[in-house]
Chains A and B, each alone.
Chain A
């Protein structure tokens, strides 16, 4: 019998056919795993992943209705339901759609195609687990967020034996990007591509060029990649993102439409198409895409009821007023009853009445929307805040508009494009001066708050500075600078006291939060380098 085994490992099998679940379970039993749990759908799989820790997931790509295998993987990785060491394998009946499956940023550790025998499965598992174990120290460094150390380990391994190690090169490239070392990453990918036009390397090169703001060059890479592999969804996504930045919105819409034809089950991609189509005046396309985004997002972490507002808008622009109200009511009834539901459906409905000049009804909906946000301190995403502001101004409620705008500025004070949009709304309402003044004073207030916290830190009152920034971040969670400064004070405190236990996880939380809000902000990369050394001590 096999020398290796799966002792102490816990395994999740996901397949909609009971026969297959049983079959795979029987195949794994001789390897003596600690436990095997089976799920019949993607949704069940996510629930199980929330509750248990798995070392190995074997997931069929086609899972009937609901999430497919790729979506389970994306959500599991996105929500950190799986550790970096865990193995995720997608089982499929044919290999031809791998490029379609390998969407966005999440790749499985392996694909196994049906049918397979026990010995084939065992061999594959043994190989993958062996490969992972050889990289154990690298993944430990990554789990500890010590990226520089992980890069050094990659380099060392590559020097020992460069043969058959493209996985290491790939990891190394991703780590360089994580550390903001974009030029080094670019060089690495260029070197790989000189030898062979490997699709993932060209994709990664395109993404690096995009991050560097080199959109022309990024576009060339993505386009040549798509010509070579027209099925490569991630390349289409990359090209669409680049075109959006370049303002080539018609072309962007074409590419997104192509991507969706190949892989429709993504709430994020549908939403992207919807917003671009809306800007292009393709209201019918936008309507369909918003509908799909809402449907696909229903059970996904990438879903957002904010899409209902977009749906309403795209319908009203086609003159479908009554249908729009019907759609909103249908969604309101069919989705889980929650504050989120009440808020977004009320806002959507207010947009319909605003655009059709039925101001009494519009006012009613606006009241409902505010009654929800007043009772809970939620932060609105920028598009929603803009809609809300416009509605308030249309109804001549400047004080409500100001309240929304103030919060928006708190969280996005350095996003000039967004602030320009706000000014435009005030201008349309004939209140440009008031709007500009409001933005100006809100900005100053934030600068003052920020400076106060920085001053405390400079005076060596680090604990006070930390408390101050943590408090400030509660009020403006989407303010990247505040988040970064909270982390910076914590890092300085760890350095001063040598005690990492108190602030290490928290400082990382604020760092990642700031990075999520503003991925281009260089402060993040400076700070993670500083934070890395504490990871060593904690480990």
Chain B
């Protein structure tokens, strides 16, 4: 099968899968809103999260496939950053609350920047999904303009990122190792999505350190 056929096939199947998934997510949404049983509501919300993550994975696969085919071109639009972060984090608020994780967003209401909404909300979702599993009690998101770039920083108070992931930037994408499991793959996507953002020859990048809250992880996303 040649690559064009596969690409078309993939796109059209994803269309169908997303229709089905949309149906699923909305049914869960409906039931979880009407149920009076707290326990099943919590379970339904987790089901919801998994479906959202399923969707995010689909987007990632498609994007990564297209990048490999040199077919992906980001669609960057001037975006209100606060609204963007709030929307991307929307599904996580309740889940974090269940585990007593405090999620805070620190961003001026009038902050605008250019980004590909779907790519970057996928990236942010990835990071949050990861933190849902690893942080102790805090996730802090801050966003601000620094010179000619937008800087989004996500800090947590978890155990921090393993050594082999530190000091990696998107310029060394390939050295993200898949053996570090879903965290590694997730961060690989974050790096790729960020690097697709360009302006006047400058590329976006990510930096990972353990300078978060109480030695926790810290991801810094810089978009030109």
Interface residues of A (CB under 8 A from B): 17, 19-20, 23, 27, 62, 93-99, 113-120, 123, 127, 163-164, 166-167, 196-198, 228-231
Contact = CB atoms under 8 A, between A and B. Distances in A.
Contact of B22 (A95, A99, A116, A166): A116
A16 to B, nearest CB: 10
B200 A20 contact: no
Given A197-B200, A198-B114, A230-B73, A94 B22 contact: no
B105 interface: no
B86 to A, nearest CB: 9
Describe B's contact surface by its main secondary structure: helix
Contacts of A120: 87, 90
A519 B116 CA distance: 36
Contacts of B164: none
A20 B19 contact: yes
Given A93-B15, A196-B200, A115 B71 contact: no
Given A62-B15, A96-B66, A166-B78, 17 more contacts: A23-B22, A23-B23, A93-B15, A94-B15, A94-B18, A96-B63, A96-B72, A99-B73, A99-B75, A115-B19, A115-B24, A118-B26, A118-B29, A120-B90, A123-B87, A164-B112, A196-B200
Nearest to A161: B110
Contacts of A196: 114, 199-200
A62 B14 CA distance: 12
Contacts of A93: 11, 14-15, 18-19
A27 B22 CA distance: 12
Contacts of A95: 75, 116-118
B30 to A, nearest CB: 8
Interface residues of B, number: 35
A230 B29 CA distance: 39
Contacts of A118: 26, 29
Given A95-B118, A198-B114, A117 B25 contact: yes
B219 to A, nearest CB: 23
Nearest to B87: A123
A19 B19 contact: yes
B80 interface: yes
A117 B71 CA distance: 29
B189 to A, nearest CB: 15
A98 B114 contact: no
Describe A's contact surface by its main secondary structure: loop
B110 A163 contact: yes
B59 interface: yes
Contacts of A117: 25-26, 29
Contacts of A27: 26
A79 B18 CA distance: 33
Contacts of B76: 198
B127 interface: no
Contacts of B19: 17, 19-20, 93, 114-115
Interface string B110-148: 101010111000000000000000000000000000000
A237 B169 CA distance: 38
B62 A164 contact: no
B89 interface: no
A115 B22 contact: yes
Contacts of B72: 96
B23 A164 contact: no
19 contacts: A19-B19, A23-B22, A93-B14, A93-B18, A94-B59, A96-B63, A114-B18, A114-B19, A114-B22, A115-B18, A115-B22, A115-B55, A116-B22, A118-B26, A164-B110, A196-B114, A198-B114, A228-B73, A231-B71
A123 B83 CA distance: 10
Contacts of A119: 90
Contacts of A164: 78, 80, 110, 112
Contacts of A97: 11
B84 to A, nearest CB: 11
B49 interface: no
A230 B72 CA distance: 10
A229 B116 CA distance: 14
Contacts of A231: 71, 73
Nearest to A61: B15
Contacts of B25: 115, 117
A114 B14 CA distance: 10
Interface string B22-40: 1111100100000000000
A181 B73 CA distance: 33
A207 to B, nearest CB: 20
Contacts of A127: 83
Nearest to B83: A127
Contacts of A167: 78
A19 B199 CA distance: 41
Which 4 A-B pairs give the minimum distances between C-beta atoms? A115-B22, A164-B112, A93-B15, A114-B18
